[in-house]
Amino acid sequence: MQKDKDIQNKDIIDELQKTGGTKYNEKIKQTIENYKKLSDKEKNCFHIPYGYGRGKTTAVMGLAIRAIGAGKKVAIVQFDKGYDGQNEHYSERIILRKLSEIGYPIEIYPTGCERMNKDGTFRFKNQEEDFAEAERGLKIAKELLQSNKYDVIILDEAVAAVAYHLLKKEQVEELIDIYKNNKNCEFIMTGHKLWDGLEEKADLITEMRKVKHYFDAGIPAREGIEF
């Protein structure tokens, strides 16, 4: 269904551009005028970057930096990406904490347990503590959405938490319902696989699809690039 929509949208843009740009510019102007008529809440959107390709968290961290640069207040909840206060596996959090310390309006809430083994491999099996941490992340996300304090709320790996059975889809859909009933901020979730019905709830969906990856040629995740 999404592929058909993409083709249709491309055909519309191609037709507009064939006219020398006149109709395309008219379309842009009309979109801007219509946007001005929307209420503040109607201007807010729900995004889902998803897929098995690299770049989902990279994209939302870039969005967070852009938002705070524009003076927006940002909150990020990360699922299954915990931090024990000593072993930091995600370099972006180092700079985000420093930005917060010097007064930029960004808050970050890592949840989850250690999954990196000492030999560099990854623990895939869920343990009781993993489920408890997912529930903690869910509680934080709900409080943030209900607080009306933020311009942007990012739930990194919330969709993935359902795919990996840390949360039920109904729990995440409850968060979406809280957002939809208020729409007081820009709302973003990331993950690997969409469940049935999730696409219809979002305003923007971007698929990160693997075309080629250097991991297959023997290059592992690298600090400052993948984490």
Q: What is the pLDDT of residue 3?
A: 60
Which class does domain 40-210 fall in?
alpha beta
User: What's the pLDDT at 68?
Assistant: 97
pLDDT at 4: 62
User: Which pLDDT score, from 0 to 100, does residue 143 have?
Assistant: 98
Per-residue pLDDT at 217: 94
Calpha distance 107→117 (Å, rounded)? 28
pLDDT tens series, the chain, 227 aa: 556 666 666 776 676 566 666 777 888 889 899 989 999 999 999 999 999 999 999 999 999 999 999 999 999 999 999 888 888 889 999 999 999 999 999 999 999 998 887 787 888 899 999 999 999 999 999 999 999 999 999 999 999 999 999 999 999 999 999 999 999 999 999 999 999 999 999 999 999 999 999 999 999 989 899 98
The full 3-state SS of the chain, as one line of letters, equals CHHHHHHHHHHHHHHHHHCCCHHHHHHHHHHHHHHHCCCHHHHCCEEEEECCCCCHHHHHHHHHHHHHHCCCCEEEEECCCCCCCCCCCCHHHHHHHHHHHCCCCEEEEECCCCCECCCCCECCCCCHHHHHHHHHHHHHHHHHHHHCCCCEEEEECHHHHHHCCCCCHHHHHHHHHHHHCCCCCEEEECECCCCCCHHHHCCEEEECCCCCCHHHHCCCCCCCCCC
Are the CB atoms for 48 and 159 separated by under 8 Å?
yes
